[in-house]
Structure 1
Amino acid sequence: MNSPALKTALAYHEAWTGKDFERAMTYIADDIVCDAPAGRIEGADAYRAFMGPFVGMLVRAEIIAAFGDDDTAVLMYDTETVPVKRAPGAECVTVENGKITYSRFIFDRAPFEAARRAAT
């Protein structure tokens, strides 16, 4: 675990999966860019608005794999949320000076959309 990027990515992951979202946001750069299934998210405020609701409905998370080097880390994990029991995801992040500046976030939106439809 000598990878600086992996250390930051794991600290961020541990914070948000532990429901300490404020601590998680300390690892996010003010000018973060995130490419997610819903589209591009720019800036820490927009990122907070994107991730906050997900963290609020998180039940648990389990890391499947984690790799990194000086600047880039990849985490693959499975999550359980209130509406969706199995929601795997993956993030490839770029880290500069201990902050995540870019995130390529991959997850399947279909189960969440189905859960929303079933709840109405």
Structure 2
Amino acid sequence: MTTTTHRTPADTMTAYFDAWQRHDAESLRDVLADDVVFDGPMGHVEGLEDNVASLRGLFGIVTAVTIRHVFVDGPEVATIYDLHTTATEAPMLTVNWAHVVDGRVTGIRAVFDPRPLLST
């Protein structure tokens, strides 16, 4: 069971994207809630274990994440970033909208154009 932390929502998302930069799926366990839900153009994932496994798979093609801007409104954090992958020529502009409670991400909605990934 996840415990409460004293991280702010912004700190939580910084830790989340730091783990992405390191391709460290195990560190995500420290920032994702047990019942985290992800929704995006290419799928829906529920629960900590399935989200960690999904991200571990994604790290196989991610070469970099370039954060452009972060917006914080209470527990809501929207991160705009360029997702660089081995599967696409150009970086993919992505928006990640996360809901953070007690230092843990409970929900993520990702918005991006999936067409470059689908044509590979």
Code of the aligned partner of 1:5:
P
SS of 2:119's equivalent in the other structure is helix
Provide the residue aligned with 1:53 in structure 2.
57
Which digits, 9 at most, give the CA deviation of each residue in 1:65-91, with x for residues without a partner?
Answer: 101133111101002111113122111
Distance 1:12 1:102 in 2: 13
Unaligned runs of 5+ in 2: 1-6
State the 4+ residue runs in structure 1 displaced beyond 4 angstroms: none
| RMSD of aligned Cα (Å) | 1.6
Distance 1:87 1:53 in 2: 17
TM-score, length basis structure 1:
0.84
Provide the residue aligned with 2:114 in structure 1.
109
Provide the residue aligned with 1:93 in structure 2.
98
Which digits, 9 at most, give the CA deviation of each residue in 1:5-53, with x for residues without a partner?
Answer: 1111111011112212211232111101111113432111221232222
TM-score, length basis structure 2:
0.84
> Higher helix fraction: Structure 1 or Structure 2?
1
Provide the residue aligned with 2:31 in structure 1.
27
Matched, 1:78 2:82: yes
Q: Percent identity?
A: 27
Contact 2:23/2:56 (8 A) holds in 1: no
Code of the aligned partner of 1:30:
D
Unaligned runs of 5+ in 1: 116-120
| Pairwise CA distance, 1:107 | 1.8
